Amino acid sequence: MWRRLRSALGRLRAPPAAPPAMERAVVRCVPSEPKLTLQLVLPDGSARHMQRDKAEPLGRVLARIAANTAKGNAKAAKKSKKARAAGAPAEEAPAEAPAVLLFSRDGEAVAEDVPNAAAWQDGAVLHIGEARYRVERNRPTLTELRLPRSLLAGFPVCPKVNTEFAAPQHCLFRWYQEQRPSAGGGAAAGDGPSWVETAVAERVFIPSNALVGLRLKLQCTPGDGAQRYGLPREVESSGPVEAGPGACIFDSRHVYTRKVCGEGSVRAVTYNILADIYAQTEYSRTVLYPYCAPYALELDYRQNLLKKELAGYSADLICLQEVDKSVFVESLAPALDAFGLEGLFKIKEKQHEGLATFYRRDKFSLLSQHDIAFSEALLSDPVHKELCDKLAKYPLVQEKVLQRSSVLQVSVLQSTSDPSRKVCVANTHLYWHPKGGHIRLVQISVALSHIKHVACDLYPSIPVIFCGDFNSTPSSGTYSFINSGSIAEDHKDWVSNGEEEKCNMHLSHPFKLLSACGEPAYTNYVGGFHGCLDYIFIDRNSLEVEQVIPLPSHEEVTTHQALPSVSHPSDHIALICDLKWK
């Protein structure tokens, strides 16, 4: 008896049954589009994807939903009627349209004359007869989820994550590894792979040597800052994890850059990363880099090394040259975004490679961009009229200058912790030809005049950090001009391609610039040449050098004869320094 009584009391105390889970009515409404979309599954199981004008009254959409529901119910009843084994009953009345109402999050009925854009708010509840639908407006959504084609043990795997109404830093990530077949035999024929979840729940995954030969799977759930989450998606790697090259030339440099610089300091990197369009030519394989194993020149392989190298520098500013457009979009921007860096790209005219500047989001915000192509700016910008007039006296040189596709990337950044601190970050890659010293002098004059316009006229007295591959050694006229502020009209570089292209111009600029990393023995080391071509120039009035990250030793650089190699992705070496405001 007591047992039955306790059971009855337990039933009385039990909480009421939870209401059935609501279906979803997903609304997409963005300012740039005249229509919104509504997706839902009606009570009869039919999916509906509706596009409606934002200004249309709500009542019209509700009436359409009611009509579609009635039509669906009628079809369902007809099917049921045909399925009956017994004789036909009397003719049934047409299905009535159910009551369709929309209620706000506060439980108030939304008036039918309210425009769609205002009516369909997140958290509202749609009633279709007895069915209930939770409105999810601009639900976090994955538009693209992709893993790199090449996976190396010990190197970061950075997925490409594109979202709408979400941000990668708010998404949820779960990584899985393929289960290795047991010694007794694999899975049955036709069965898919078996997956085991790893302990990693971060955006970036670094496979260990134990995963060599196994594929990876990523599940990503899109999310936003309000802790709303959309539907998860999964992606599997196209191939297994492969063995990495072991120690790389840049590993010893990472010892100095394990942590991001403190407040008031800026770590800057400049690096020519060797464009794939130049690495993957017969000339490159047989003449420029015959010492480099062919697989080490492949883009996928080099990208693994490059992403690990750049991520390990914990930089605040990264200026890259020879960046293939596809590499920026598909590889570098997604990878460095995962490490907190925002990327900007400027393509060279007539080519598929260009410049990329990355800045750390929690240290800087972008105020403005002022990118130019030298040839176009020289002809059209009044800032360069004086130089253009001088150049017109030397038609051969003028023609060569205007044929070049070189560009300058200029970004004005503002400190997130101290808005009074702004900096002009410039990035360039000057003409490459050994006999093109006179062309480079004209290009650098255009660059410095443009930087002056930005850093002195548009943003008075902000400091300058000027990075790039200047294709100029410390003994060149270009280096002397940048360092000293002027170049004489009788400098030997004006006749670098012989008397026929001789041009004599006196040029000057107002900056006091210093090579932050000094004059290394070389920043480019290939079979037939080594020399210092890359620099980080800083405004010596406003900035000073805290430390220069040591370059690799000569023994490390020449381990595989020259660069690039199986342990280094480019024929150049990155320059890295820590700067601070004076």
CA separation for the pair 542, 309 (Å, rounded): 29
Q: What is the rounded distance in angstroms from the CA atom of residue 508 to the CA atom of residue 514?
A: 16
3-state SS string over 228-263? CECCCEEEECCCCEECCCCCCCCHHHHCCCCCCCCC
Q: How far is CA 88 from the centre of its chain?
A: 65
Encoded tokens for 436: 């093109």
> Burial of 207 by CB count in 10 Å (0-12 exposed, 13-18 middle, 19+ buried)?
buried
Q: Are residues 229 and 221 in contact, defined by beta-carbon separation less than 8 angstroms?
A: yes
Whether omega for the bond prior to residue 245 falls within 30 degrees of 0, making it cis, is: no
**DSSP string covering 513-575, please?**
EEETT---S-SEEETTEEE--EEEEEETTTEEEEEEPPPPPHHHHTTTSSSSBTTBSSSB--E
DSSP label of 455: I
Whether 407 contacts 428, CB under 8 Å: yes
Read off φ and ψ for residue 72, nearest 5 degrees. Answer: -65, -40
Q: Are 339 and 169 in contact (CB under 8 A)?
A: no
Of 533, 521, 518, the residue nearest 557 (C-alpha): 521
CB 549 within 8 A of CB 576: yes
Structure tokens at 154: 């010990």
Distances in Å between the Cα of 436 and the Cα atoms of 144, 394, 433, 439 are 44, 15, 5, 5
Reference 132, options 276, 214, 24, 262; nearest CA is: 24
CA dihedral 110, 116, 119, 123 (to 10 degrees): 130
Return the H-helix or E-strand segment holding 450. Answer: helix 437-452
The CA distance from 266 to 149, in Å, is: 33
What's the CA gap between 562 and 556, in Å, rounded? 10
Phi and psi at 63, nearest 5°, equal -65, -40
The count of other CB atoms within 10 Å of the CB of residue 190 is: 5
Three-state SS at 328: helix
Beta pairing class for 513-515 and 534-539: antiparallel
- Indicate the SS3 state at residue 309: helix
Which of 224, 276, 324, 469 is flagged as catalytic? 469
Closest among 153, 247, 249 to 568, alpha carbons compared: 249
The answer to whether 539 is a known catalytic residue is no
Q: What is the DSSP letter of 181?
A: P
Place of tokens 């290009």: 443
CA-only gyration radius of the chain, Å: 32
Handedness of CA 186, 187, 189, 193 (dihedral sign): negative
| Residues involved in catalysis | 469
